[in-house]
Amino acid sequence: MPQTVVPIRAATQPAAPPGPQRTSAADLDRLLHAWQSRFTGGHSPSTASLAFLDWAAHALNAPFETAEFGRTAVEHWQRLARIALGTEALLPLPEGDRRFADPAWSQHPYKLVVQAVLLGEQWCESLVQSPDGMDPGNRRIMGFNTRQFLDMVSPSNWPWFNPEVVAATRATGGRNLIEGFSNLLADKAAARGPAQDDPHFRLGIDVAATPGKVVLRNALMELIQYTPTTPMVGAEPVLIVPAWIMKYYILDLSPGNSMIRWLVGQGRTVFAISWRNPDASMRDTTLDDYRSIGIMAALDAVQAICGPAKVHAAGYCLGGTLLAIAAAAMARDGDAQLASLTLLAAQTDFTEAGELQLFITDDQLDFLGDVMGAQGFLSANQMGGAFQMLRANDLVWSRGIHDYLLGKHDAPNDLMAWNADGTRLPARMHMEYLRGLFLHNDLAEGRFRVGDRPVALADIRLPIFAVGTERDHIAPWRSVFKLHLLNDSALTFVLTSGGHNAGIVSEPGHPRRSFRMRLRAHDGRSPGPDEWRAETAPQDGSWWLAWGDWLAAQSGPPVAPPAMGAALADAPGAYVREH
């Protein structure tokens, strides 16, 4: 097995001829776009402008319908007056809206402010959604941008309008605002330093602490083999392929909620890929490099250590999508190394990929390509900003109120520490992923090519275990569910409570966890997602236990643990520490 780091490839651009080079107009535009991205969070200003022009053109061309909104505004004011007089019932808060959850918002005069906000938001959102004929993508962008603006100007964000902040300021004599300013300064300082400096969650000690050895290192990843803890293990090893958008130890957090440690304790020989944190030198790394130098190299190493036993492969998020691509290419080429396939919150069809689609347009991707071309990668802050805006109330404004206006600070936890430990994404790989999968849906529609030939998910002939999470805003469960339409192998689908991260990190014993699970037999009937949910009863507890039973059903008799591979370093290795 290779044990040294070698370059992934030489630069793909031809060598520049000698002599001074003139900067082209296109180069200057790219520099302009890179500069603009500092103020737009990496979003193309043209995308928002085009969406607004589309809305404005259709609104102007429907003058009578648009004029109706003047009458609707008057009706809303009249309704607010009736609410103030007590002759009409209060509007309920939208489901999941926690801005006005504090009891003080239900008292005068604040409850009238809440009602004015709800009526105003209804009016604004119906206005931007009203004209017929708009491009659906532009309609979604207009709705999203309007929502962002309304969230920003909500009175809950202003200390003199928020009764909870007013009460705290009176009670503490303004101490809450001093503490909040201190929290703001501390957060700013932490953002400038490596997230791994958190003294509460040290890599290899408090998190990513499952004992093991790095048994393979190449230019893109380290492969970790975990030390067995049981006298007998499953004959087939488990290979975990995490997403490269974040560090792998989301699946190896604290000992009590580490999926990897739990698997080892269940008598599994476990290997996990730890991806390298790319820098500008890796700008030309491709999506197929992640497959070949990542998954395929790891599979070869696992079988070199464990012998000819087939491998249970499990992929999380982008790692699951890549694993599905690799499995389809292996099926096409007659490669039978895999025993089963587990996909955790991983999409294979991107036609309903949730609100992330708002950022996936040709214009936006051209702009993003210029931004990444200037720096060679997409930074963790740029990617994290997009995810935060999808849940701005929860991740931006509510946190700002809690930390900076009320002066509170939640005790850190392992998931928060992991979430702050971001990674970069190579420019070329990220554009291939966004264009080929998100924008054009090449994998689901049979156009995605591996080795100059297309692959088909229908070719995979393996038992599949797929998990979606109920509140996933990154890989919506109905999108994950579409694998039923792309492959007719025996497919066990699980819908678990929680979101993209907490729904997967759902260890046994965690309170208030539940899941639904149902097998679609080989060549069996595939219901629609809502029909499936209605027909599948929930079960209390962790889906990990059901997955453990499923792995056991796909495995042969237990054997003695295989010898550990040649150790290059102790787990968690070197790549996870790169920042």
Tell me: pLDDT of 381 over 80.
Answer: no
What is the rounded average pLDDT for all residues in the chain? 89
- Least confident range from 69-73, 193-197, 259-263, 433-437: namely 193-197
Residue 463 · residue 340 · CB < 8 Å = yes
- If phi over 0 gives left and psi between -120 and 50 gives alpha, with beta otherwise, what is residue 390? alpha
Residues 565, 571, 574: CA angle, nearest 5 degrees: 105
* pLDDT tens column, 218-237: 999 999 999 999 999 999 99
Distance (Å, rounded) from C-alpha 353 to C-alpha 42? 20
- Token pair of 74, please? 């008057």
Q: Of 89, 143, 136, nearest to 111 (Cα)?
A: 89
Distance (Å, rounded) from C-alpha 296 to C-alpha 335? 11
DSSP 158: S
Tell me: pLDDT of 15 over 70.
Answer: no
Report, as residue numbers or ranges, the catalytic residues: 317
Tell me: pLDDT of 191 over 90.
Answer: no
- Least confident range from 207-221, 390-404, 548-562, 565-579: namely 390-404
Tell me: pLDDT of 47 over 90.
Answer: no
**pLDDT band (50, 70, 90) for residue 22:** low
For range 233-256, the mean pLDDT: 95
- Least confident range from 6-10, 273-277, 463-467, 543-547: namely 6-10
DSSP assignment of 369-416 equals HHHHHHHSEE-HHHHHHHHHHHTHIIIIIHHHIIIIIS---PPP-HHH
Residue 360 · residue 434 · CB < 8 Å = yes
For range 556-579, the mean pLDDT: 95
For range 196-225, the mean pLDDT: 91
Task: Taking each helix axis as running N to C, give the angle between helix 362-375 and helix 45-60, from 0 to 180 degrees, rounded to the nearest 10.
Answer: 160
Place of tokens 């958008």: 245
- Least confident range from 347-351, 359-363, 447-451, 546-550: namely 359-363
* pLDDT tens column, 487-516: 999 999 999 999 999 999 999 998 889 999
**HSE toward the beta carbon, residue 316, CA cutoff 13 A:** 27
**pLDDT band (50, 70, 90) for residue 97:** confident
Task: Taking each helix axis as running N to C, give the angle between helix 362-375 and helix 25-40, from 0 to 180 degrees, rounded to the nearest 10.
Answer: 100
Phi, psi (5° rounding) for residue 102? Answer: -60, 135
Residue 577 · residue 203 · CB < 8 Å = yes
Which pLDDT score is estimated for 1?
45
Distance (Å, rounded) from C-alpha 299 to C-alpha 311? 8
- Token pair of 8, please? 């992934």
- Least confident range from 15-29, 233-247, 300-314: namely 15-29
